[in-house]
Amino acid sequence: MAVLYSSLSMPADDLCATLFKRDPALDLRIWPDTGPVEEIEFALVWRPQPGDLVRYPNLKAIFCLGAGVDALLMDKTIPDLPIVRLVDRALTAGITEYVLLHVLRYHRHMPALEAAQRAREWSELRAPAPWDRRIGIMGFGVLGGDAADKLVSMGFTVAAWSRSAKSRPGVECFTGPEGLRPFLARTDILVCLLPLTADTEGIVNARTLAMLPKGACFINAGRGAEVVEEDLLAALDSGHLAYATLDVFRTEPLPPESRFWTHPKVTMTPHNASDTNAESAAAGLLQGMADARAGRPLKNLIDRQRGY
């Protein structure tokens, strides 16, 4: 049986070469050169051609080549098959590095110190002790959990907010709509790592931003559509929000006319907080397909009703 690689935006070279290196016998078909469609057993996808996956009558499982599956689920023709999202240590490490980098920037007043340098001002800004800095993480799955662990190990006071009840040593956990206001009210630096669903679209808006303490900072490495961008800009312009770091946007690439490019309180990155690592991803994909062929339970299955 064959394996289909299908992506409109992720180059096949590195990952496919690594898959072949690990399994030279792998019959890998790179879309649109699929060969006989009835031979396709598994699909490895990232933003595949809409409507294409229904063409493979013997498809057994779909493996998403990223942590988020929102773009995949937008295609309502996706067959009713197991969908596995990518969870690997390199992807997780990349997100954690990004979170730590920007939390520490804000904790140590780096934007203000950099502005003072440009103005040739000797500004001795002092950072509080880490346990006096309250970090809040929205989204507490694999990515949020790893970032929280590292922040706790550095001494920060960490809380998390998620849809379902969670618990983790050293982390104060809040749950559901009733937990959102108290979670935000105690947060100095807000980190968004939420999956994009009908419930999370636009969740960072004028109402929720107003729940943060004045002078809070915001870091988004989740999904751009979770932020009402006009409301975020208004909170920055008013001074209610001190700074924002944004890796994701509603429209990507970010249009040249966007104010985010030049806003003095915004740090932006081009959706590269973490990338799929060919070596670690290939190992997980091959193991997942081997499990499926052997009838073993698949790990990291998504729940279509929840959207993640």
Provide CATH 3.40.50.720 ranges for the chain: 2-86+276-294, 89-268
How confident is the model over 203-254, as pLDDT tens digits? Answer: 999 999 999 999 999 999 999 999 999 999 999 999 999 999 999 999 999 9
- Position 12 scores a pLDDT of 77
> Mean of the per-residue pLDDT values for the chain?
96
- Position 11 scores a pLDDT of 73
How confident is the model over 132-185, as pLDDT tens digits? Answer: 999 999 999 999 999 999 999 999 999 999 999 999 999 999 999 999 999 999
> What's the whole-number mean pLDDT along residues 116-124?
96
State which fold the 2-86+276-294 domain adopts. Rossmann fold (3.40.50)
How confident is the model over 54-71, as pLDDT tens digits? Answer: 999 999 999 999 888 998
How confident is the model over 19-51, as pLDDT tens digits? Answer: 999 999 999 999 999 999 999 999 999 989 999
How confident is the model over 250-284, as pLDDT tens digits? Answer: 999 999 999 999 999 999 999 999 988 999 999 99
Q: Which residues pair with residue 246 across a beta bridge?
A: 220, 268
Please state the pTM of the whole predicted model: 0.94
Burial class of residue 158, CB neighbours in 10 A (0-12, 13-18, 19+): buried
Distance of CA 206 to the CA centre of its chain: 22
Q: Is the pLDDT of residue 10 over 80?
A: no
How confident is the model over 282-301, as pLDDT tens digits? Answer: 999 999 999 999 999 999 99
**Edge-to-edge strand order for the sheet containing 134-138?**
171-175, 157-162, 134-138, 189-192, 216-220, 241-246, 266-268
State which fold the 89-268 domain adopts. Rossmann fold (3.40.50)
- Catalogue the active-site residues: 223, 271
